[in-house]
Amino acid sequence: MIRYSCDLCKRDLDPEDDLRYVVKMEIYAAFDPAAVHDEDDDCDHLQEIQDILENLDDAEDDQIGADVYQRLRFDLCPECRKKFLKNPLGRQLSAPKAVGFSKN
């Protein structure tokens, strides 16, 4: 039986008792099709990227593909899912204690 653990808090997830959430992320270099369209010189570059994407499975050098396209997958427990949804990008949030007026 495959055992899963939460990728955030590292606790083991019991398939019988714990809900497991899967987070999938795709990160890839974005191109504005309209901007590329007018400049023929850049078309080769776009084609190049597409070739990399198509050949990703065959590519031996993962570094080239990783700059252009990455797919990430995480397993989360219910608690960490909530945390993740509140702050998916891991931004620095202002401390809760800063909220409210000073009494001085």
Footprint on this chain of Zn ion (rule: CB under 5 A): 6, 8-9, 77, 80
Residue 5: CB minimum distance to Zn ion, A? 8
Q: Closer to Zn ion at the Cβ: 9 or 43?
A: 9
Cα 78 off chain centre by:
18
Q: Closer to Zn ion at the Cβ: 9 or 64?
A: 9
Residue 6: CB minimum distance to Zn ion, A? 3
- Measured CA to CA, the distance from residue 74 to residue 97 in angstroms comes to 31
Q: Closer to Zn ion at the Cβ: 8 or 53?
A: 8
Could you tell me which of 71, 62, 81, 70 has the C-alpha nearest to residue 18?
81
- E strands, 1-104, in order: 4-5, 12-13, 21-28, 69-76
